[in-house]
Amino acid sequence: MTINEKQDELVADFSMMEEWMDKYEYIIQLGKELPLIAEQYKTDDNLIKGCQSRVWLHTELKDGKLFFTGDSDAVITKGLISLMISVLSGQTPKDIAATEIYFIDAIGLRSHLSPTRSNGLLSMLKQMKLYAVAYKAKMES
Amino acid sequence: MDNVSTLAAPALDVARIRKDFPLLQQATVYGLPLVYLDNGATTQKPQVVLDTLEQYYTGYNSNVHRGVHHLSQKATDAYEEARKTAAGYINAQYSHEVIFTKGTTDSINLVASSFGRTFLQGGDVVLISTMEHHSHIVPWQMICEEKGAELKVIPINERGELLMDEFSRLLDERVKIVAVTYVSNTMGTINPVKDIITQAHARNIPVLLDAAQAIQHITIDVQELQPDFLAFSGHKIYGPTGIGVLYGKEAWLNKMPPYQGGGDMIKTVTFAKTIYNELPYKFEAGTPDVSGAIGLAAALNYLQQVGLEKIQQYEEQLMEYALQALQQVPGIRFIGQAAHRSGAISFLVDDIHPYDLGELLDKQGIAVRTGHHCTEPLMDLFKIPGTVRASLSFYNTFEEVDKLVAAVNRAAAMLR
């Protein structure tokens, strides 16, 4: 599936849930289920700075594709990280670098990507794209 | 809730009060009626304040202290009348001891800069407390750095109360000013400011009180309490944003140089020398926030009409009820459990992140604040990332507290 197909699928899933609390129930479930990152990668180096809820991100390149793992100390943020990773992980650096993330906005959680919120999700997305751009440049050189 | 019956009858007719606040009548969030419990951040405005602003802009908007024309005179009169109202509200001896500022932060910066430039030298000490807002830390840090002075901090106990023995110990001849908050914005602790002032004055040390979280909850009489400076914001006491007050004793204000230069603060200007205006204008450079000052006066008059004593009594009942009701939430932990408190209640539930809790409260129509509340050193002390803070006003009801408790229970069940 392409990045956008995955995004569209998530938007469709969320549109079935009418109540806000149901949407959150689902996000929290994702957040609780996924031990996203191996403990050894939960280092200060992988900690995304400037966030009030802490977010860790680890990136690996395998067979020309990028794989992300991440974590947060806030469970809603963790659920959203899990969604973000499910959309972007396993895609090529080229595709990730070029992508526009619209599903967060479409499911009504735009505030999570607001710079004033400083919950780490926006910084994480920026970091993911930075890695993608860097790997893309490396692969092209 | 059972708790209601154990309390005395409410000291205020809150249903009637709420009719004075249009936002409380109209606002819904996510289709639910708004439960506004973020009054420590800012308060809603009564209709009379909104009407006053509209009347000013539609009837006599004009610059003050300048024109000979009728409107300018009318605006000047209203602006100066507002100063008298603010002075009366805190029982200042002279109305020129009230300086209009942009808000508490601006008032504190004025004192830190103007007092600091004149009275601080290398080796001197500025004494603040652990529970200060960033606005009451950073301006002092800046001037201390500039002057080579030292910032010392009064510690607190685990309940969030100042250690007064430590305060007395820290109060030596190096201390040039004591700057403390009257009420903690994070924990609601009411500090023993009378005792602090008495001890400081015994050593001829002036005291600045940050009253941003006190002025709307506690009756303040500066002639009785005797602070040398007192700062508060209009928007936290039901007035407009952008206006604030610095009260300063005449003797101190006269000894301090102007904070900013500009129009209104001068008597005469030549390229060789400027003669500064007298109090209060010396500290009000540029066109002031005329509408803000008039709006603030309308808010203060409104509170006096409702009755400060009744407001205080009702807010105490509401605080007591809220603490009892929240106590029943499984796993709740209060951050700050001072014996004397007002306004704010900070808490955490189990190890749930305050952001998660705040977000699910929001989705249930409840406005609270989450985070460090601009008191990072305090959060570091308690080793927590932040808290959920509910802050109460006299327009909040017991039913709203019940809704908060139910919403916290529901959110916690989802997040556990």
The whole-angstrom separation of Cα B124 and Cα B121 is 6
Residues 6 or more apart whose Cβ sits within 8 Å of residue B406: none
Instruction: Please name the member of B356, B364, B414 whose beta carbon is closest to the beta carbon of A74.
Output: B356
Please tell me the distance in Å from A3's CA to the nearest CA on chain B: 28
Contacts of B31 in chain A (CB under 8 A): none
Contacts of B351 in chain A (CB under 8 A): none
Q: What is the DSSP secondary structure assignment for residue B65, as one 8-state letter?
A: T
Mutate to test the interface with B, among A23, A29, A53 (most CBs of B within 10 A): A53
Q: Residue A59 is inside which H or E element, if any?
A: strand A55-62
Cβ contact A75–B353 (<8 Å): yes
B352 in reach of chain A (CB within 8 A)? yes
| Residue A51 known to be catalytic | yes
Please tell me the distance in Å from A73's CA to the nearest CA on chain B: 7
pTM for the structure as a whole:
0.92
Cβ contact A24–B30 (<8 Å): no
- Which residue in A has a C-alpha nearest to residue B373's C-alpha? A52
- Nearest Cα residue to A37 out of A56, A65, A63, A18: A56
Contact B355, A52 (CB under 8 A): yes
Q: Which of B27, B41, B163, B374 is catalytic?
A: B374
A2 in reach of chain B (CB within 8 A)? no
Contacts of A21 in chain B (CB under 8 A): 360, 363-364, 410, 414
Cβ contact A74–B386 (<8 Å): no
Tens digit of pLDDT per residue, chain B (416 long)?
444 445 568 889 999 999 999 999 999 999 999 999 999 999 999 999 999 999 999 999 999 987 789 999 999 999 999 999 999 999 999 999 999 999 999 999 999 999 999 999 999 999 999 999 999 999 999 999 999 999 999 999 999 999 999 999 999 999 999 999 999 999 999 999 999 999 999 999 999 999 999 999 999 999 999 999 999 999 999 999 999 999 999 999 999 999 999 888 888 999 999 899 999 999 999 999 999 999 999 999 999 999 999 999 999 999 999 999 999 999 999 999 999 999 999 999 999 999 999 999 999 999 999 988 899 899 999 999 899 999 999 999 999 999 999 999 999 999 99
- Which residue in A has a C-alpha nearest to residue B371's C-alpha? A52
The whole-angstrom separation of Cα B291 and Cα B45 is 14
pLDDT of residue B5: 46
pLDDT of residue A49: 66
Side-chain half-sphere of B253: how many Cα atoms within 13 Å?
26
Q: Which of A27, A51, A55, A104 is catalytic?
A: A51
Q: What is the mean pLDDT of residues A61-83?
A: 91
Cβ contact A28–B386 (<8 Å): no
The whole-angstrom separation of Cα B222 and Cα B204 is 17
More confident residue, A140 or B164: B164
- Which residue in B has a C-alpha nearest to residue A77's C-alpha? B356
B408 to each of B18, B38, B138, B338, how far by Cα in Å? 24, 15, 34, 22
pLDDT of residue B378: 94
- Nearest Cα residue to B216 out of B396, B74, B366, B385: B396
User: Could you tell me if the ipTM is greater than 0.90?
Assistant: no
Could you give the residue ranges of the DSSP H alpha helices within B90-187?
Answer: 104-119, 138-147, 164-170
